[in-house]
Amino acid sequence: MSYPHLLADIGGTNARFAIETAHGKCETIAVLQCSEYPTISAAIRTYLTSAPPILAGAQIIQKAGIAIANPVHGDLIKMTNHDWSFSISAVQAEFNLSTLLVMNDFNALAMALPHLDEHQKYQCGQGEPQHQSVIGLLGAGTGLGVSGLIHTNNGWVALESEGGHASFSPANRREIAILEYALEQYAHVSMERLLSGAGLRLIYNALASLRNVAFDDLEPPDIMARGLSNQCPLCREVLNTFCEILGTAASNLALTLGTKGGIYIGGGIVPRLGDFFIESPFRQRFEQKGRFSSYLQEIPTFVITDPYPAFIGVSALLTPESYMKAKQRG
């Protein structure tokens, strides 16, 4: 398999890197801040120079896989939530790679889902997954990623989706008020506008305006910290509202794709909520679909807890033969 391989998971905020020295074995994991590097090449070069113990005496890296929070069509990549842009072929030539596979980050994360064990996820609510049925995926972080996974005779196929940019659909008067507040700033209010780090701040500002109360200029981590510690009733309401809106987005995805295999939630926000998320209105809102409530009650929802799940999916797409052999042995 021409190991070692370079694996990367590039988001709007962080660039995560690893060296895969054998099937499923990732070493020298590092997280770099995208804002500290002018280009993706600069970040890659910095990482590679920091991993000499792994690379010393090893075969030069020939294959690399990059999951990136962006649509991937053609050779030119221009990131939506960051200012990096690059040519895939130019980066491949710069690092003398025989293979450079660039994919949407949620395509990679979707490909990881069949390989997650009970230590890499937990279930929120009831329901049992049906074997080899469609799986849905969404996750909030810098943006909102969405994907799905369909089983075929040749294995799993991840869907290329930009579902995070679907229109926000309010489910009660409070959310209608949030939408009206957001429309004063944006011509189109997508789900991502609310289900993201910036979305926490938007919900916070909207609720403060709705309640006609004074509020601080808080960053998303501060809103989360104050809400989780119950130090700020407004921040607590923000987190509950966020979980409710996420429940709507997840149930819409479940109905759209028929995800009898379950809905998985990744991204950087929900895993940090811990027990709060389990006790939040998320699952209640997920099942709140009128005539289709009983349909959704049977669909399980899982939270991904593995810190670097995209690496699993990147590896699976970069070396599918390895994962087929592992599956056969299992």
> Which CATH number do you get for residue 46?
3.30.420.40
Identify whether residues 312 and 264 lie together within a single domain. Answer: no
Taken in order 107, 108, 113, 118, is the CA torsion positive or negative?
A: negative
* Ranges under pLDDT 70 in the chain: 1, 52-59, 321-330
Q: For residue 251, is it left (φ>0), alpha (ψ between -120 and 50) or beta? A: alpha
> Per DSSP, what are the bridge partners of residue 68?
10, 104
Full domain range(s) for residue 92: 5-105+308-329
pLDDT value, residue 120: 95
Identify whether residues 152 and 276 lie together within a single domain. Answer: yes
Identify whether residues 174 and 295 lie together within a single domain. Answer: yes
Identify whether residues 56 and 137 lie together within a single domain. Answer: no
Identify whether residues 12 and 26 lie together within a single domain. Answer: yes
The string of pLDDT tens digits covering residues 222-236 is 999 999 999 999 999
Identify whether residues 74 and 195 lie together within a single domain. Answer: no
> Per DSSP, what are the bridge partners of residue 9?
16, 67
Residue 102 and residue 68: Cα distance in Å, rounded? 7
Identify whether residues 201 and 294 lie together within a single domain. Answer: yes
- Decide: helix, strand or coil at residue 102: strand
Identify whether residues 278 and 158 lie together within a single domain. Answer: yes
| Enclosing H/E stretch for 301 | strand 301-304
Residue 286 in contact with residue 296, Cβ under 8 Å? yes
> Does any domain span residue 289?
yes
pLDDT value, residue 263: 98
Phi, then psi, of 136 in degrees rounded to 5: -110, 155
pLDDT value, residue 59: 59
Identify whether residues 130 and 142 lie together within a single domain. Answer: yes
Identify whether residues 94 and 147 lie together within a single domain. Answer: no
Residue 139 and residue 303: Cα distance in Å, rounded? 9
Residue 292 in contact with residue 87, Cβ under 8 Å? no
Residue 286 and residue 274: Cα distance in Å, rounded? 18
Token representation of residue 315: 């590896």
Identify whether residues 279 and 136 lie together within a single domain. Answer: yes
> Does any domain span residue 155?
yes
What is the domain count for the chain?
A: 2
Identify whether residues 169 and 257 lie together within a single domain. Answer: yes
Nearest one of 288, 289, 309, 271 to 114, comparing CA atoms: 309
Q: How many CA atoms lie within 13 A of 85 on its CB side?
A: 6
Alpha-helix runs per DSSP H in 215-274: 220-228, 233-257, 270-273
Q: Which residue has the tokens 């599956």?
A: 327
Token representation of residue 111: 């490909």
Task: Look up the pTM and report it.
Answer: 0.88
Residue 158 and residue 106: Cα distance in Å, rounded? 9
**DSSP 8-state symbol, 190:** B
pLDDT value, residue 322: 55
pLDDT value, residue 1: 54
> Does any domain span residue 295?
yes
> Which CATH number do you get for residue 148?
3.40.367.20
